[in-house]
Amino acid sequence: MSGTSAPEHTGDSFAADDEEHVRAALQRLSEVVARFPSACVAFSGGVDSSVVLAVSQRVLGADHVVAFTAASETYRPDELEAARALARALGVRHVVRATRELDDERFVANPPARCAYCKEAMVAALQAVASETGMMTLLDGANRDDLNDVRPGMRRASELGVQHPLVEAGLGKAEVRALARYLHLSTADKPQEACLASRIPYGSPITAEKLRTIAAAEAVLRRLGFTGARVRHHGSIARIEVGLDEVERAAGAPARDELVRQLRALGFTYVTLDLQGFRSGSMNEVLQADERAPTL
């Protein structure tokens, strides 16, 4: 990212229902985006990249913006379809390219730096699409709150020239969601998603079979009404994370019985429920303090 430091605005002090604050956040983000002549946006279809794409379209015009989505085994097919639908709604050209992370032995080995290797493949494809379409700047949807977690992929993207407009505008997740509502984006209340490989413990090889099993297991949770839940793949053990307010329902009949039945049918021997509930990046809890240093 550029040397511009992010303003001191945090989600904790942000009033999501205060239109004045939302307008101010939109103004800050628009000013960051306006510096770029054109943009190729890394677009997953999540709320963060949706806001970046929508504001880029508003500020630069649809002819100067391209949405790029990397499709691979780590990305759910339904997420791709949702991304396609939103790009169409915004009137932005959308390019989808397959990336083959599972061909990279470094990624498959699943070290703590795994995301950096995945990001290299994504940025290479992003750069190619930008070159083909004449877009001058690479943008992604990293937000200010991401600076507080282990994000080797974000660091690598910065090294490769990707700009983080939400970070530069000082916007965290609460502000991003408020902006999405203000802009009437369908992703405003979409649960936080992440690469399916993030469900596999570091050091355990990533395989297409594991990724398919995780996707199928989390589909079971969604069908049972658990939103934003995770299934962590610990070999024969499925560790389920749901919101703390949903732990009691997941642990009781009939949800418990259905989870056990369907996840065992997917190949898990043991089906467990994490009593700490869902927390983003829980696999990073095993890392040493020096590996958990701020991203940028």
Question: Could you tell me the sign of the dihedral formed by the alpha carbons of 181, 182, 184, 187, in that order?
Answer: negative
Q: CA 37 to CA 144: how far, in whole Å?
A: 23
| For range 115-119, the mean pLDDT | 93
Q: Is the pLDDT of residue 7 over 50?
A: no
pLDDT > 70: what percent of the chain? 91
Kindly state the tokens that stand for 290. 């020096």
Within a 10 A sphere around the Cβ of 133, how many other Cβ atoms? 15
* pLDDT tens digit sequence for 62-105: 999 999 999 999 998 889 999 999 999 999 999 999 999 999 99
Q: Report domain extents, the chain.
A: 11-182, 196-279
pLDDT over 50 at 190, yes or no:
yes
What number is the average pLDDT over the span 284-295? 55
User: Residue 295: which pLDDT band, with cuts at 50, 70 and 90?
Assistant: very low
Q: Do domains 11-182 and 196-279 have the same CATH topology?
A: no
Residue 17, SS3 per DSSP: coil
Mean pLDDT of the chain: 90
Handedness of CA 290, 13, 28, 125 (dihedral sign): positive
pLDDT at 283: 73
Q: What average pLDDT does range 252-256 have in this prediction?
A: 97
The arithmetic mean of pLDDT across residues 21-33, rounded, is: 97
| Span 268-272, average pLDDT | 98
Instruction: Check residue 288 and give its pLDDT.
Output: 56
List helix spans (H) across the chain: 19-33, 47-60, 77-90, 105-108, 114-133, 152-159, 165-168, 173-182, 208-223, 247-251, 255-265
Exposure of 266 by Cβ count < 10 A (0-12 exposed, 13-18 middle, 19+ buried)?
A: middle
Indicate if the pLDDT at residue 245 is higher than 60: yes
Mean pLDDT in residue range 227-256: 97
Residue 37 has φ and ψ, to the nearest 5°, of -70, -30
**CATH superfamily to which 11-182 belongs:** HUPs (3.40.50.620)
Residue 5 scores a pLDDT above 70: no
Q: CATH class for domain 196-279?
A: alpha beta
Position 4 scores a pLDDT of: 37
